[in-house]
Structure 1
């Protein structure tokens, strides 16, 4: 791994929980090519890990992620190449690097919880949208900010936002770039819930999830990801296939025995 990439994101696994921390606090965890690469590497490294029952995605210092590094905007103004549209080997449905930094979290089998504090602007917000659950500080500031820089949300944001807030609100947020507080984000559906200490809350939730059957929690994630994206008959069939694989499995039997005190 390139030294710049290795320094951008810290990954720790303990007690079945992976903590992924954007680690550029002096820049409010601003996104640059090394940060994108580090996020993709961290996410892909978790895809095949059976010892991870839940993931917490957070940022070091005063912000979750303030968005694209200002140096990249300066390069664009001077006609420099965009940083996220260069085709790469596909990662799931995503080919562009910036999209992969978001999409990778949907490919991680374990549920992913974003703990958002300070700023989550532009690409930073889109990274949070890649998580399954978002816990935000009430005073956090979130914004789909790209339009204010003459851009569009190009890190899966246009595809993920409407599912969460509806098409009209998604358009309003993306067309204005207005900032919303963590409290308002919950009301809009942009965040799951607010907590004074979102990281502690995310860690507690991750511990609860990691304590359940991993086969079951991963199946829940797979099934909910299908909802609205495949025909109903396909989604219902997937339910039956998942429950058929779970019932009577050694893991499920062990859960029953624990619940019954056997």
Structure 2
């Protein structure tokens, strides 16, 4: 399945999503943004899918928004900024946040440039495995802008407010070694795809409901007070304990 330069394929309990505009370093168009959210929705309905692996074809993972292409239709860009009904996101934000909404863990496999919106998409994944020559930049400040594809919700969560501000205000590119040091990426590996597959195997060996609940737990509590966090923790854990007591704690996708 491939539409608007975003491809989706399935293999066993894995879903593979690839940005497929290699001649433009996967520079995003408005159509690709909408397609990313649509593809995430398709995966979310598949109870048999345990892990999602997100990557980019060609020389880079994702070089950011293709501004020239997007601005060829200013009205479409303006409409894309409007919040989507019932979502709390606009088209730009939903292209990233749709992956956080998935019950399945998402692993981004990154190589080459990971700039702007591309970095924000990678940050919306649960894990990031990257090549040693990968390069990262919160580059919006170069254009007088701020990260607006959920980067404000993910950057400080991963690396702290000071480092998030440093990367955002300077727009300086950083290498994979530094990115790993500050916690921007999960792991640097010469073969990030193989590393991602190994992690997927380990995750898929655990009960699907526990994995989904763990993702939901941390997403709901990372900015909450301790009291709120503990309350959500209890509410999340209780049905899992009941499930175990009823003998349903098997490694199934149901």
Number of equivalent positions:
247
1:66 aligns with 2:59: no
Q: Give the whole-Å Cα distance in 2 for the aligned partners of 1:151 and 1:81.
A: 19
User: Do the aligned partners of 1:68 and 1:122 also contact (CA within 8 Å) in 2?
Assistant: yes
Q: Secondary structure at the match of 1:31?
A: coil
1:86 equivalent among 60, 70, 81:
81
Q: 1:240 to 1:35 in 2, by over 3 A?
A: same
Using the TM superposition, give the Cα deviation of residue 47 of structure 1 relative to its aligned residue in structure 2, in angstroms: 1.9
Instruction: Tell me what 2:27 maps to.
Output: 30
Q: 1:191 to 1:21 in 2, by over 3 A?
A: same
What is the correspondence of 1:242-257 to structure 2 with a 5 Å cutoff? Answer: 242-247=236-241, 248-252=245-249, 254=250
Mark the runs of 5 or more structure 1 residues left unpaired by the alignment: 256-262
User: Do the aligned partners of 1:92 and 1:107 also contact (CA within 8 Å) in 2?
Assistant: no
1:18 equivalent among 15, 20, 38:
15
Instruction: Tell me what 1:47 maps to.
Output: 44
User: Do the aligned partners of 2:15 and 2:53 also contact (CA within 8 Å) in 1?
Assistant: yes
Q: Give the whole-Å Cα distance in 2 for the aligned partners of 1:126 and 1:26.
A: 21
TM-score of the two chains, using structure 2 as the length reference: 0.89
User: Do the aligned partners of 2:221 and 2:228 also contact (CA within 8 Å) in 1?
Assistant: no
Q: Give the whole-Å Cα distance in 2 for the aligned partners of 1:111 and 1:168.
A: 27
Instruction: Tell me what 1:228 maps to.
Output: 222
Using the TM superposition, give the Cα deviation of residue 99 of structure 1 relative to its aligned residue in structure 2, in angstroms: 0.5
Using the TM superposition, give the Cα deviation of residue 105 of structure 1 relative to its aligned residue in structure 2, in angstroms: 0.7
Q: Give the whole-Å Cα distance in 2 for the aligned partners of 1:18 and 1:153.
A: 28
Instruction: Tell me what 1:239 maps to.
Output: 233
TM-score of the two chains, using structure 1 as the length reference: 0.87
Instruction: Tell me what 1:103 maps to.
Output: 97
2:128 equivalent among 131, 134, 142:
134
Instruction: Tell me what 1:150 maps to.
Output: 144
Q: Give the whole-Å Cα distance in 2 for the aligned partners of 1:205 and 1:45.
A: 23
Q: Secondary structure at the match of 2:132?
A: coil
1:197 equivalent among 191, 194, 197:
191
Q: Secondary structure at the match of 2:184?
A: coil
User: Do the aligned partners of 1:116 and 1:136 also contact (CA within 8 Å) in 2?
Assistant: yes
Q: 1:133 to 1:90 in 2, by over 3 A?
A: farther
Mean CA deviation greater in 152-161 or 80-89: 80-89
1:168 equivalent among 138, 141, 162:
162
Q: Give the whole-Å Cα distance in 2 for the aligned partners of 1:36 and 1:204.
A: 29
2:202 equivalent among 176, 200, 208:
208
Instruction: Tell me what 2:6 maps to.
Output: 9
Q: Secondary structure at the match of 1:56?
A: strand
